[in-house]
Copies of this chain bind each other. A is one copy, B any other.
Amino acid sequence: MIMLFFMDQEKSAETEEDSFAEVVTLGQDNPLRLDSGEELGPFDAAYKCWGKLNYDKSNVVLVCHALTGDHYVRGINPITGKRGWWENMIGPGRPVDTDHYYVLAINVLGSCAGTTGPSSINPETGKPYGLDFPVITVGDMVRAQAMLLDYLGIERLFSVIGGSMGGMQVLQWAADFPDRVRTAIAIATTWRHSAQNIAFHEVGRQAIMADANWNHGRYLDQETRPHAGLAVARMAAHITYMSESGLTSRFGRNLQDREKLAFGFDADFQIESYLRHQGISFVDRFDANSYLYITRAMDYYDLSADHDGVLAKAFQGTKTRFCIVSFTSDWLYPTVESRHIVRSLNAVGARVSFADIDADKGHDSFLLEGDDLNDVVRGFLGSESEAMGGALP
């Protein structure tokens, strides 16, 4: 069901710093049918926009965020008080140029920054869902996003872009809604979670569930929070976001605020202090149950599974143009996995650009990398914009 929605052009023409962040309720009449077979509705979808929608709505770029990301890609994030997570990629004059494109970012289903997730109130009980929230998939996230686009009256995306789990959504968009995706940019991602990927996530989930304050997921009803377990989960995951060489060059065996080893269990080494900080600062901005649900969705992700185990079949007949980007030091979703995506696209004659960027920062390169990634995205979007005859504003 498509609900048309007249965009307020005044609002969307505001600068990106004070552009609106909205929450809309979807699925009231027609709930979202989940991959599990359950139905979810009504549910909220939180999103944020930058730039100006053009007259035929042909300049929309959807930004998909990663596991712990949100829709605050630019400007001040009201939850953290920090700058958005992709300001070097998106904004006026940036590769995804908000002077040309109308950029839309949506908090994923299951998350905790405005879109419905396990910390939201279950309308049937009046209490937070907790583990009563249905287990969701990347496919469910994408279908929820499509419902929001329907609501906004946006039929087709000029591009969909994302890194890590954002890249999974990009590929899912292209596979499930080929007619709605003109171009797709999947960065530092994979087409299915490997055994090692699942293993690291399972450690994180077990750390959360081992925390006595988790209370079988009902901590929000009580005065407890599983902060210790969630911090450990974040620490374990954070190691996988960085490369061994990057860690060595940045931290090595440097000591933290001391001249020599302290022979105790405080943070002697800078890497320990850094990791502890990553864990502690994470728990203030993220919900433990959301961490369970979203890691589960990522572990369930296998785009080939619905296509006889052959990834290429997911893209049969596609007219979407693809840009696949990997980083040489990313061992979470290594280059070989991006190459498999590229080969699968080649196998069905899809148009695809591929860049394996020489970078030292591991998986996090998609957030931290500078000119090389920017040049790839800018060039890819620009060439497609030209192919449209410069029709974009």
A interface residues with partner B (beta carbon < 8 Å): 35-36, 38, 131, 134-135, 192-196, 198-200, 202-203, 205-207, 209-212, 228-229, 231-232, 235-236, 239, 242, 244, 247-248, 250-253, 261, 263-265, 267-269, 271-272, 275-276, 279, 292, 296, 299-300, 302, 305, 331, 334
Taking CB atoms, residues of chain B closer than 8 Å to A194 are 244, 247-248, 252-253
Residue A198 contacts which of B131, B261, B271 (CB distance < 8 angstroms)? B271
Q: Is the CB of B292 within 8 A of A248?
A: no
Tell whether, in the assembled complex, residue A271 and residue B205 are in contact, meaning their CB atoms are under 8 Å apart: no
What are the residues of chain B within 8 A of A38 when measuring CB–CB?
263
Let me know if A205 and B265 touch, CB within 8 A.
yes
Residues of B within 8 A of A305 (CB): 253
- Inside 8 A of A331's CB, which chain B residues have their CB? 244, 331
CB distance from A38 to the nearest CB of B (A): 8
Query: Given A198-B269, A247-B199, A271-B199, does the pair A264, B135 have CB atoms closer than 8 Å?
Result: yes
Whether the Cβ atoms of B210 and A271 lie closer than 8 Å is: no
Greatest chain B CB density within 10 A among A38, A263, A331 is at A263
How many copies of this chain are found per oligomer?
2
Are B253 and A228 closer than 8 Å at their CB atoms?
A: no
Which residues of B have CB within 8 Å of A193?
253
Closest 9 interchain pairs by CB? A210-B228, A195-B247, A36-B263, A135-B263, A195-B251, A195-B271, A196-B244, A202-B272, A207-B232
Q: Measured between C-beta atoms, what is the minimum distance from A177 to chain B in Å?
A: 22
Taking the nearest CB of chain B, how far is it from the CB of A195, in angstroms?
4
How far is B334's CA from A205's CA once the two chains are assembled, in angstroms? 28
Contact A302 B253 (CB under 8 A): yes
- Bound together, the chains give a CA A212 to CA B229 distance in angstroms of 11
Q: How far is the CA of A220 from the CA of B46 in the complex (A)?
A: 49
Please give, as numbers and ranges, the residues of chain B lying within 8 Å of A251 by CB-CB distance: 195
Q: Say whether, besides A198-B272, A265-B296, A292-B265, A232 and B203 are in contact (CB < 8 Å).
A: yes
